[in-house]
């Protein structure tokens, strides 16, 4: 305590020797023992103790004295009281100002933090915005952003973009690049990676299926699954798989991957089928001979066995073709 008292007394006497007596002063200027600065340049105004009511003229004069560059983030600059006195003489404040100077002023750069939680929220918001309405079916988890960022003081803004992923590819680990700005200046770039699981209704096997089995409606059902686990060949409409057959055995509940299925010809070349003529309120059937094989909904050429004329029609099931009227 005695040492602190001697230091304060020395600073007070220094002020009295350098400037007129406090009683004769019209304004008092105090310098803080520590200061934080936000700008890239350091002036006398940055070292004045906060909370003082200084005149605009005095603030302007202090702001005109440039002390050099501000310290970088995480570093400090110590300005001795004697050097501060030299700067004050350069400022030429006049006899109407009494100044109290500490033995030294420790200066550091004002900073702020962007925490890992902040970065995770930016990642989640970016993914949700890109997904749009599909975001309701997404589960975002296990986000990795590294460590938090220490930034200069100022207005923080960010710009995030996906790295090589499209909406349809939002499954598994999805990377996002985040650019961080302070007052419009880019200060950092962060790469965040998270797991994105999209869920949706896909067609699965309703019961055990053997290899080579042609799919019927009772073989399939819709179930909500993780699309990443379902694979890119999953489909959401059972009607798309009618007429297909399995190439490998499929267990119940497993997604029916179109890449592991093959179309089954419902009509083979030479088959005699029922041709259905339908239109203008009438329906006529006749026998025809297929001149080529056909899958469900495919168009094939046939010969009308009665008229011997060639016609075209669409295969609707085994042995039935709807012919153009």
Question: Has residue 98 got a pLDDT over 80?
Answer: yes
d(CA 69, CA 11): 26
Instruction: Report the top-level CATH class of 113-198.
Output: mainly beta
Q: Cα–Cα distance between 323 and 315 in angstroms, integer?
A: 9
Q: How many residues does the chain have?
A: 325
Kindly report the pTM of this predicted structure. 0.57
Collapsing DSSP to helix, strand or coil, 57 comes out as: helix
Give CA separation, 119 vs 69, 95, 136, 195, in Å. 30, 53, 21, 15
- State the burial class of residue 41 (Cβ atoms within 10 Å of its Cβ: 0-12, 13-18, 19+): exposed
CATH class of 272-323: mainly beta
- Which pLDDT value is given to residue 7? 44
**CA angle at residue 110 from 80 to 66, to 5 degrees?**
50
Q: What is the pLDDT of residue 227?
A: 84
Distance CA 42, CA 84 (A): 13
**Count of C-beta atoms within a 10 Å radius of residue 266:** 25
Mean pLDDT of 89-114: 91
Q: Tell me: the pLDDT tens digits for 230-249?
A: 888 899 999 889 878 999 99
For the stretch 130-154, what's the b/e string if a residue is b when 16 or more beta carbons lie within 10 angstroms of its beta carbon? bbeeebeebebeebebeeebebbbb
pLDDT band (50, 70, 90) for residue 170: low
Distances (CA, A) of 12 to 82, 95, 195, 233: 13, 16, 62, 82
Could you tell me the pLDDT band of residue 302, with boundaries at 50, 70 and 90? very high
Say what the pLDDT of residue 18 is: 43
pLDDT band, residue 190 (cuts 50/70/90) = very high
Expressed in angstroms, the distance from the first to the final Cα of the chain is 110
For residue 301, list its beta bridge partners.
312
Cβ contact 272:283 at 8 Å: no
Residue-level pLDDT at 157: 96
Q: Long-range contacts of range 161-170, CB-CB < 8 Å, 24 or more positions apart?
A: 161/126, 162/126, 162/130, 163/191, 167/130, 167/131, 167/132, 167/134, 170/127, 170/130, 170/131, 170/134, 170/138, 170/196, 170/198
- CATH number of the 200-263 domain: 3.90.1210.10
Q: What pLDDT, on the 0 to 100 scale, is given for residue 276?
A: 95
What is the arithmetic mean of pLDDT over 130-151? 89
What whole-number distance in Å separates Cα of residue 148 and Cα of residue 150?
Answer: 7
Q: Distance between CA 317 and CA 267 in Å, rounded? A: 8
Q: What are the residue boundaries of the structural domains of the chain, listed by start?
A: 2-109, 113-198, 200-263, 272-323
Distance separating alpha carbons of residues 114 and 224, to the nearest angstrom: 37
69 has a pLDDT exceeding 80: yes
pLDDT band, residue 169 (cuts 50/70/90): low
**How would DSSP label each residue in 204-267?**
EESS-B-TTPBP-GGGEEEEEEEHHHH-TT--S-GGGGTTEEESS-B-TT-B--GGGEEEPPSB
- Asked if residue 23 has pLDDT above 60, the reply is no
- Residue 123, token pair as written in the block: 């990642």
Band of pLDDT at residue 26, cut at 50, 70 and 90: confident
């Amino acid at each position: 305590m005695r040492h602190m008292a001697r230091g304060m007394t020395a600073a007070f006497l220094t002020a009295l020797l350098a400037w007129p007596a406090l009683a004769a002063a019209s304004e008092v200027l105090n310098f803080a023992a520590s200061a934080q600065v936000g700008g890239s340049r350091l002036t006398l105004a940055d070292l004045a103790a906060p909370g003082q009511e200084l005149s605009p003229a005095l603030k302007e004069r202090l702001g005109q004295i440039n002390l050099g560059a501000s310290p970088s983030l995480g570093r400090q600059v110590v300005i001795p009281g004697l050097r501060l006195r030299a700067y004050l003489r350069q400022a030429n404040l006049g006899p109407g100002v009494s100044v109290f100077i500490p033995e030294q002023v420790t200066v550091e750069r004002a900073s702020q933090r962007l925490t890992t939680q902040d970065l995770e929220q930016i990642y989640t918001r970016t993914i949700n915005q890109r997904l749009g309405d599909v975001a309701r079916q997404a589960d975002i988890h296990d986000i990795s952003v590294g460590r938090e960022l220490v930034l200069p003081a100022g207005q923080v803004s960010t710009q995030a973009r996906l790295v090589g992923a499209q909406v349809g590819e939002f499954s598994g680990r999805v990377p996002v690049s985040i650019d961080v700005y302070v007052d419009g200046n880019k200060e950092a770039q962060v790469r965040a990676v998270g797991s994105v699981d999209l869920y949706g209704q896909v067609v699965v096997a309703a019961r055990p299926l053997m290899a080579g089995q042609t799919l019927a409606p009772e073989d399939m059902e819709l179930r909500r699954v993780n699309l990443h686990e379902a694979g890119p060949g999953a489909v959401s409409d059972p009607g798309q798989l009618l007429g297909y057959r399995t190439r490998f055995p499929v267990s119940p509940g497993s997604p029916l991957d179109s890449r592991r299925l093959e179309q089954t010809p419902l009509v083979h070349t030479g088959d005699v089928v029922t041709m259905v003529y339908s239109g203008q309120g009438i329906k006529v059937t006749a026998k025809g001979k297929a001149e080529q094989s056909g899958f469900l909904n495919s168009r094939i050429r046939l010969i009308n066995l009665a008229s011997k004329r060639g016609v075209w029609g669409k295969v609707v099931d085994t042995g039935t073709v709807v012919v153009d009227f």
